[in-house]
A = this chain, B = another copy of it.
């Protein structure tokens, strides 16, 4: 069995999840705290990427990230490489596609935190940032776990966007979901079953471990 696509998928899912947590956290925090009239608008906009079919979203991303596109041309100027058909491009596309799955659980967790806990941290000498990491984050662990799980799993299973932006190039953008897809398309069921099973077992044990750890840690 060719382990390459699985490995690539795991890398992609890992990097994407990491980026989403890092970038999604401030966004989710802003959404949870804002009293602005724009809050609901931004919140709805964040949910938009999932409304489009992946292939269609992939198509639009292909245009934007391509060497002639807004972001793509800027990237070419900056790095000399094209963004599409590269790992970096895949990460950007996956991030956009999975953004709402990361932001919503974190936002919910932040919103259900009572503000007095934060105030207690401030008066104990914690700056806003310090209080965020020492109080908000641990008390919102559930939200982070959900965000990680949904973003990670979703990126593993992603397909349309990756195929469009990445181009199914072995070793570069041929992720495991595409590999399974190809096995199914070519009626090579045995290989498809095998790869699916490996993927599912892999994902299962990662998620199971995560839930288990999360449960231990959870304050009751």
Q: Footprint of B on A, CB under 8 Å?
A: 39-41, 43-45, 47-48, 50-57, 59-60, 100-101, 104-105, 107-109, 111-112, 142-143, 146, 149-150, 153-154, 156-160, 177-178, 180-181, 184, 192, 196, 199-200, 203-204, 207-208, 211-212, 215, 218
Contacts A52-B157, A52-B199; A104 near B40 (Cβ below 8 A): no
Complex contact B207–A39 (CB within 8 A): no
Contacts A44-B204, A47-B153, A160-B160; A105 near B146 (Cβ below 8 A): yes
| Minimum distance in angstroms from A45 CB to a CB of chain B | 7
Contacts A105-B108, A154-B50, A208-B40; A184 near B55 (Cβ below 8 A): yes
**Which chain B residues border A105 with CB–CB below 8 Å?**
104-105, 108, 146
- A contact patch SS: helix
**Which chain B residues border A153 with CB–CB below 8 Å?**
47-48, 50-51, 100
**Which chain B residues border A159 with CB–CB below 8 Å?**
53-55, 160
**Which chain B residues border A149 with CB–CB below 8 Å?**
47, 100, 104
Q: A45's contact among B54, B146, B204, by CB below 8 Å, is which?
A: B204
Complex contact A100–B53 (CB within 8 A): no
**Which chain B residues border A200 with CB–CB below 8 Å?**
48, 51-52
